[in-house]
Amino acid sequence: MSDLLTRRDFVGAATGMAAGAVLGGTPAPRAAAPTITVPPAGRDVVIASSNGLRAVERAGQLLAQGADPLDAGIEGVKIQELDPEDTSVGYGGLPNEEGVVQLDASCMHGPTRRAGAVAALEGIKTPSEVAKYVLLYTNHILLVGEGAKRFALSYGFKEENLLTDKARAIWLRWRANRGAADDWLDVPADADLVARPTGTINCNVVNAKGEISSVTTTSGLAWKIPGRVGDSALIGAGQYTDNDVGAAGSTGRGESNIKVCGAFLTVEFMRRGMKPTDACLETLKRVLTTTEPRLVDEQGQPRFGLTFYAVSKNGEYGSASFFSGNQYAVWEGDRAGLRDCAYLYERRRGGS
């Protein structure tokens, strides 16, 4: 006999059981309780690129105090933006080819489904916070260049020189050695020349209620053509949040990520049931399918670096890079630490 009961059978069985109890007869056998699937409970988790160890710790502490996940994430990345020793973001970030620091940032707030971003922003130390103001106070998503700076100044942000002595010295060494036939004198070979660095911090946050947010901030590719905007300022590329699923973001070669809308794609892979790490790996594979031959070596491996980071609504997290040896920062429970990224390729000696 089938274990499944129709509604009429169920009502009839229940009536018989009640009657048997009242009349003193033998009760009918009890039907098995239906199976109920309970989704995993959420938890406070913050995940970021490896340069965001202090960021995830600060964001995690704020989450524990009940802070909104976007506020927590931005307060975390501001530590790096305000650090003059960090040449990857904000104040102290490495400049474009003309020696001007131009900053990009974007953010998304899952509960309200809102987003904000700024690009090629000059003179303001904390572009992540300006991006949040775009989210909060405008009907726009992305402000750029002089307009972004005027918007920031209208809200009381202070215009300052972002080119530190440290970053300027690195830029001058690059400029002196950029061409064998130019009119600049080469500096000594042991001058600690920085050839083509990139720098970004992505931070994704989820709290125990399953509320999610993400933020990415950068000074971009060092020595870039003035006005260049990478993936960090673009919603769906540098970061993306869907409050029903999770959040993701990236660091590395922005141009390659933009072509696949990598953060959005990673979240979509999670929507289809992939774990965060698997989703990051799948996005990297998609990037390779859109990479032009000049950026791939003889073994079919990319000549550039790219890393994705992701967290799901229930607090699962993961990260993946093209090459081994990379790490990412995580805050969970009550502490922050570094984890090893998953990867597609073993790093070769002298490789990417």
**At residue 176, what are phi and psi to the nearest 5 degrees?**
-70, -25
Residue by residue, DSSP assigns 52-63 as: GHHHHHHHHHHH
Is residue 212 within 8 A of residue 243, CB to CB? The reply is: yes
Catalytic residue from among 87, 126, 200, 277 = 200
Query: For this structure, is 200 an active site residue?
Result: yes
Strands 306-312 and 246-252: antiparallel
Distances (CA, A) of 117 to 80, 130, 144, 278, 301: 18, 8, 8, 28, 32
Residues across the chain: 352
Q: State which amino acid sits at residue 336.
A: A
What whole-number distance in Å separates Cα of residue 199 and Cα of residue 203?
Answer: 14
Residue 101: CB atoms within 10 A of its CB come to 25
Contact by Cβ (8 Å): 205, 72: yes
Count the neighbouring beta carbons within 10 Å of the beta carbon of residue 87.
Answer: 21
CB 158 within 8 Å of CB 191: no
Active site residues: 200
